């Protein structure tokens, strides 16, 4: 049996990225429900007022379902981006829950990146049998959102002691390695914002992100016990980064 060639490997990775991203809505809704159940024990309110919360989750599950089955994927990817944008705005403006500034940056930058990922998907990237031309404007907008997410990572590594310690606890070389990571994320951000060398930048990010998810986001003891991030909120943030990884995989193979 012949070994798979480069094109087949890229196609498989692109499909895997699309699979991850299109299922993001399911995990996001599940983790939100678990988070609000966790808060119910301490009589804390959800981020969004309850009547609108159910509508928001219903819309997210609907979009995720149609995207997962490949039905009007571009249309529902656009709808999912709009839904998440409205949900994030309502959560931010609702003011029902107080978050630390560093946690807000982590939460809303990742939501913005997922919106960007949906726009990349809506552009036609990652389609195995593309029947319509790719919408480059949507892809470019999605790439800009991913670039902003990377800028927020650099900002957090420079100004958030919580994020700095999370990295310093798991990397060799201390401050020097952390500075090199800041430079790396900064260069990748410029690539995403400008559209230059986007495939190469996405390939590098697709290599780095799993390590961040595993060792930084996955350090639940640090985030939950030390930094007092709610357990299911951290699980939701992990889901965001996994979804971002899916979007980056698409760009790394079909950007």
**Mean pLDDT, rounded, for 2-9:** 75
HSE-CB for 188 with a 13 A CA cutoff: 29
Domain assignment of residue 1, yes or no: no
If 0-12 CB within 10 Å is exposed, 13-18 middle and 19+ buried, where does residue 2 land?
A: exposed
Mind listing the pLDDT tens digit for each residue in 8-57? 888 899 999 999 999 999 999 999 999 988 888 777 888 888 888 889 99
Q: How many domains does the chain have?
A: 1
Domain assignment of residue 24, yes or no: yes
Mean pLDDT of the chain: 92
Q: Are 236 and 36 in contact (CB under 8 A)?
A: no
DSSP secondary structure letter of residue 215: I
Q: Would you state the structure tokens that stand for residue 151, as one six-digit string?
A: 């800028």
Mind listing the pLDDT tens digit for each residue in 124-168? 987 877 778 889 999 999 999 999 999 999 999 999 999 999 999
pTM beyond 0.85: the answer is: yes
Domain assignment of residue 92, yes or no: yes
**Mean pLDDT, rounded, for 75-84:** 97
Structural domain for 250, as ranges: 6-254
| 242-to-43, 133, 136 alpha-carbon distances in Å | 30, 28, 24
């Amino acid at each position: 049996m012949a070994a798979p060639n480069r094109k087949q490997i890229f196609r498989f990775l692109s499909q895997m990225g699309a699979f991850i991203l299109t299922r993001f809505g399911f995990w996001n809704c599940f983790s939100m429900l678990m988070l609000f159940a966790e808060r119910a024990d301490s009589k804390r309110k959800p981020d969004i007022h309850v009547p609108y919360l159910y509508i928001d989750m219903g819309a997210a599950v609907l979009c995720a379902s149609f995207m997962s089955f490949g039905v009007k994927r571009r249309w529902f990817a656009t709808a999912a981006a709009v839904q998440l944008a409205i949900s994030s705005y309502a959560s931010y403006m609702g003011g029902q829950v107080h978050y630390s500034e560093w946690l807000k940056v982590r939460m809303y930058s990742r939501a913005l990146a997922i919106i960007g990922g949906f726009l990349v998907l809506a552009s036609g990237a990652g389609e195995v049998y593309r029947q319509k031309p790719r919408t480059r404007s949507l892809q470019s907008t999605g790439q800009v959102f991913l670039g902003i997410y990377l800028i927020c990572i650099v900002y957090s590594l420079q100004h958030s002691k919580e994020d700095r310690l999370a990295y310093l606890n798991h990397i060799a070389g201390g401050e020097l390695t952390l500075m090199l990571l800041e430079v790396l994320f900064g260069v990748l951000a410029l690539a995403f914002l400008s559209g230059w060398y986007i495939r190469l930048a996405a390939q590098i990010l697709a290599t780095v992100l799993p390590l961040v998810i595993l060792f930084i986001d996955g350090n639940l003891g640090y985030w939950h016990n030390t930094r007092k991030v709610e357990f299911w909120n951290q699980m939701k943030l992990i889901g965001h980064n996994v979804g971002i990884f899916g979007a980056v995989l698409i760009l790394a193979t079909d950007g």
